[in-house]
């Protein structure tokens, strides 16, 4: 019975990743069409829509580098995507694990598309509180973050079941 569970179809997981990519690219296209880089629109006292470009990684890591990081991050994302698809093909019957990997896959590919098309990632969600702003992010980043949290939860539950 466990062998059948691990051999579940990749299609649902790839479908989730495709939805993340689609939502990510649609929202970024809206920002690119309606806002200049650096524009900011206040939505609430803690939330702005901005147009920011990140040539780095999470939290603008390596943002100020000379451009080589673009290809490093594209390469890392491609390797990660191949590994994630392989993991999903082997463990697709594990629902929480599958959700986590599918969200990470969609987010990684969404940001790779930006790096290839624009040379940087389009970020547009900005949260702030009492003068401190969290680094801007996008739908892909959100999917990666939720996916990582689900991976941690999945592992915690796995450890708990093993006791």
38 contact partners, CB below 8 Å, separation of at least 6 = 50, 51, 52
Q: Rounded to two decimals, what is the model's pTM?
A: 0.86
- What's the average model confidence in pLDDT over 121-127? 94
pLDDT tens-digit profile of 132-146?
888 899 999 999 999
Q: Which residues contact 157 (CB under 8 A, 6 or more apart)?
A: 96
Contact 121, 54 (CB under 8 A): yes
- 3-state SS record for 89-123: HHHCCCHHHHHHHHHHHHHHHHHHHHHHHHCCEEE
Q: Is residue 99 part of a domain?
A: yes
78 to 7, 59, 124, 163: CA distances (angstroms):
23, 20, 24, 36
Domain limits for position 80: 9-162
- The distance from CA 55 to its chain's CA centroid, rounded to whole angstroms, is 15
Domain count, the chain: 1
Residue 1 inside a domain? The answer is no
Residue 3: its pLDDT value, please? 40
pLDDT in tens, 41-81: 999 999 999 999 887 665 555 555 556 666 787 889 999 99
Mean pLDDT over all residues of the chain? Answer: 88
In a domain, 27, yes or no: yes
In a domain, 90, yes or no: yes
Residue 18 lies in a domain: yes
The span from the CA of 74 to the CA of 133, in Å, is: 27
Tell me which residues are annotated as active site: 123, 141
First-to-last C-alpha distance (Å) of the chain: 22
Residue 4 lies in a domain: no
pLDDT tops 70 at residue 20: yes
**Quick one: pLDDT at residue 1?**
36
Query: Across the chain, where does the E strand assignment appear?
Result: 40-44, 47-54, 121-129, 132-133
Percent of all residues in the chain with a pLDDT value above 90, rounded to a whole number: 67
**Predicted confidence band of residue 4 (pLDDT cuts 50, 70, 90):** very low
Give me the pLDDT at residue 155, please. Answer: 94
Question: How confident is the model at residue 9, as a pLDDT?
Answer: 87
Provide the token pair at 78. 């491609």
pLDDT for 68 equals 65
How is residue 138 written in tokens?
Answer: 């996008």
* 8 — pLDDT class (breaks 50, 70, 90): low
Determine, yes or no, domain membership for 3: no
Is position 2 within any domain? no
What is the mean pLDDT of the segment spanning 106-118? 95
pLDDT at 85 over 50: yes
């Amino acid at each position: 019975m466990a062998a059948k569970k691990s051999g579940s179809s990749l299609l649902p997981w790839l479908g989730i990743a495709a939805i993340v990519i689609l939502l990510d690219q649609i929202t970024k296209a809206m920002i690119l069409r309606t806002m200049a880089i650096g524009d900011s629109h206040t939505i609430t006292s803690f939330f702005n829509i901005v147009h920011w470009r990140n040539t780095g990684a999470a939290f603008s890591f390596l943002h100020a580098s000379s451009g080589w990081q673009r290809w490093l991050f594209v390469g890392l994302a491609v390797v990660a995507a191949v590994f994630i698809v392989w993991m999903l093909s082997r463990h697709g019957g594990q629902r929480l694990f599958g959700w986590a990997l599918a969200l990470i896959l969609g987010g990684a590919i969404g940001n790779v598309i930006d790096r290839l098309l624009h040379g940087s990632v389009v970020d547009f969600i900005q949260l702030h509180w009492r003068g401190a702003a969290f680094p801007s992010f996008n739908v892909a980043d959100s999917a990666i973050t939720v996916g990582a949290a689900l991976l941690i939860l999945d592992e915690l539950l796995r450890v708990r079941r093993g006791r």
